[in-house]
């Protein structure tokens, strides 16, 4: 599953994905995302005083450029 938003708000991105990972435990895993672009950052593992699951670093924040706005991506697989 690909979770994607057109937002940089950690409350809509890293917090949601971290909640999923914490709630379902070993039933889901975050997969690495390889991108053919260089204007991205890893997902935040903390914001303000909130710590997220360290696996969130495998998510991606795509930075805006002249071609498109920025967005967030998380690639999630069901283990089974």
Cite the active site residues. 6
Instruction: Compute the Cα dihedral for 45, 51, 55, 59 and give only its sign.
Output: negative
Instruction: Tell me whether residue 74 is exposed, middle or buried, using C-beta atoms within 10 angstroms of its C-beta: 0 to 12, 13 to 18, 19 or more.
Output: buried
């Amino acid at each position: 599953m690909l979770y994607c938003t057109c937002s940089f708000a950690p409350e809509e991105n890293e917090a949601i994905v971290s909640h999923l990972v914490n709630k379902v435990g070993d039933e889901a895993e975050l997969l690495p995302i390889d991108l053919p672009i260089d204007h991205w950052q890893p997902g935040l593992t903390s914001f303000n005083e909130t710590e997220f699951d360290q696996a969130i670093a495998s998510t991606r924040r795509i930075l805006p450029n002249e071609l498109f706005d920025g967005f967030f991506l998380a690639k999630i697989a069901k283990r089974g």
